Amino acid sequence: MKRIITNLAKAILPHSFRLGLRKLNWRRKYYTQILRNKYDENVYCPIEEREFRCFVTKKESIWETHMTVTNGAKDRHRLVWLYLKNKTNLFKQPSTLLHIAPEYCYLEKLKNIPTIQYLPGDKMVKGYGKQNDIAYMDLLNLDIADNAIDYVLCNHVLEHIPDDITAMKEMFRVLKRQGSAIITVPIDESIDKTYEDFSITAPAEREKHFGQWDHVRWYALDIRDRLASVGFDAKIVRYGAEFSPEEYKRYGLCDDPIIVATKP
């Protein structure tokens, strides 16, 4: 019932209105959390570039996340942002960035960086409402020329797509030589092979099998093989491990692997 109400609200209410309500809810949780707990040290969001008393703890399906109150950035968003900033040339030289299903916490920042030609796009599937400044875009059939893009940012998208190989082929096609796709997906490192079963279609069953009602698989580390099958040189980056315990806590990071897929 909650999912039905949420999808109905997304279909009826403008995105700007829903975002405003979401921000009010983030702020409510933030101050409630501060009143209930004592925090010795402030935290710091590298996306917002400012301190806060704490991150907002939120439970999502089987995951617990820690959000930045002003922009909704989660642990993995802050981790990927730091990777982009410290380990790529995205912010250092003029670049074209294709951002698939762009997260709000990145959108406002990236579109205002003059050296980045920013291309945010989403398919606007049912249950995910249309957003301002975001073009309609189907990752299975991108209306982008070959060898045109320096970077693709694709966070927690592929687990929603039954034909993920075609999506990977499209990312490979539009990237320039030596261009990279920065990808994150839910990964279960206790399994040796990516688990998918397309006979499972009921939302409750998908949540039980894949962790969320609209996911169609659990990836294993063999996602590298899937990416290699379409031509990528893919590596798993444990970027969270490069921070000191103090930095890890202060920035609110996580241990999620980042997949860096480079077009040779």
pLDDT in tens, 176-196: 999 999 999 999 999 999 999
Is the four-CA dihedral 143, 261, 226, 188 of positive or negative sign? negative
Considering the domain architecture, whether residues 184 and 255 belong to the same structural domain is answered as: yes
Domain count, the chain: 2
Considering the domain architecture, whether residues 24 and 100 belong to the same structural domain is answered as: no
Considering the domain architecture, whether residues 37 and 149 belong to the same structural domain is answered as: no
User: Pick from 67, 85, 102: which residue ends a domain?
Assistant: 67
| Range with lowest mean pLDDT among 3-7, 37-41, 130-134 | 3-7
Residues 177 and 148: their CA atoms lie apart, in Å, by 9
Q: Are 56 and 30 in contact (CB under 8 A)?
A: yes
Considering the domain architecture, whether residues 110 and 47 belong to the same structural domain is answered as: no
pLDDT at 130: 61
Kindly tell me if the per-residue pLDDT of 7 is higher than 60.
no
- Could you please report the per-residue DSSP string of 3-32? HHHHHHHHHHS-HHHHHHHHHHHHHHHHHH
**Percent of the chain at pLDDT above 90?**
82
pLDDT tens by residue, 101-114: 999 999 989 999 99
Considering the domain architecture, whether residues 43 and 116 belong to the same structural domain is answered as: no
Residues 181 and 186: their CA atoms lie apart, in Å, by 16
Q: Are 214 and 128 in contact (CB under 8 A)?
A: no
The residue type found at 135 is: A
CATH code assigned at 107: 3.40.50.150
pLDDT at 20: 81
Considering the domain architecture, whether residues 114 and 218 belong to the same structural domain is answered as: yes
Stretch 15-30: mean pLDDT:
86
pLDDT at 131: 66
Considering the domain architecture, whether residues 182 and 256 belong to the same structural domain is answered as: yes
As beta bridge partners, residue 43 has 52
pLDDT band per the 50, 70, 90 thresholds, residue 61:
confident
The residue type found at 260 is: V
Stretch 237-253: mean pLDDT:
98
Which three-class secondary structure string do you get for 105-120? HHHHHHCCCCCEEEEE
Q: Decide: pTM greater than 0.85.
A: yes
pLDDT at 138: 96
pLDDT at 103: 95
Stretch 93-97: mean pLDDT:
98
Stretch 50-63: mean pLDDT:
89
Strand ranges in 85-196 using DSSP code E only, listed in sequence order: 95-100, 116-122, 135-136, 149-155, 175-184, 195-196
Element housing 262 (H / E): strand 258-262
Considering the domain architecture, whether residues 123 and 223 belong to the same structural domain is answered as: yes
209: which 2 tokens? 């099998």
Considering the domain architecture, whether residues 133 and 54 belong to the same structural domain is answered as: no
As beta bridge partners, residue 120 has 99
Kindly tell me if the per-residue pLDDT of 254 is higher than 60.
yes
pLDDT tens by residue, 111-157: 999 999 999 999 876 545 566 679 999 999 999 999 999 999 999 99
Which domain covers residue 104, as residue numbers? 75-262
More confident residue, 178 or 37: 178
| Dihedral Cα 69, 75, 76, 78, nearest 10 deg | 60
Kindly tell me if the per-residue pLDDT of 53 is higher than 90.
yes
Q: Are 159 and 216 in contact (CB under 8 A)?
A: yes
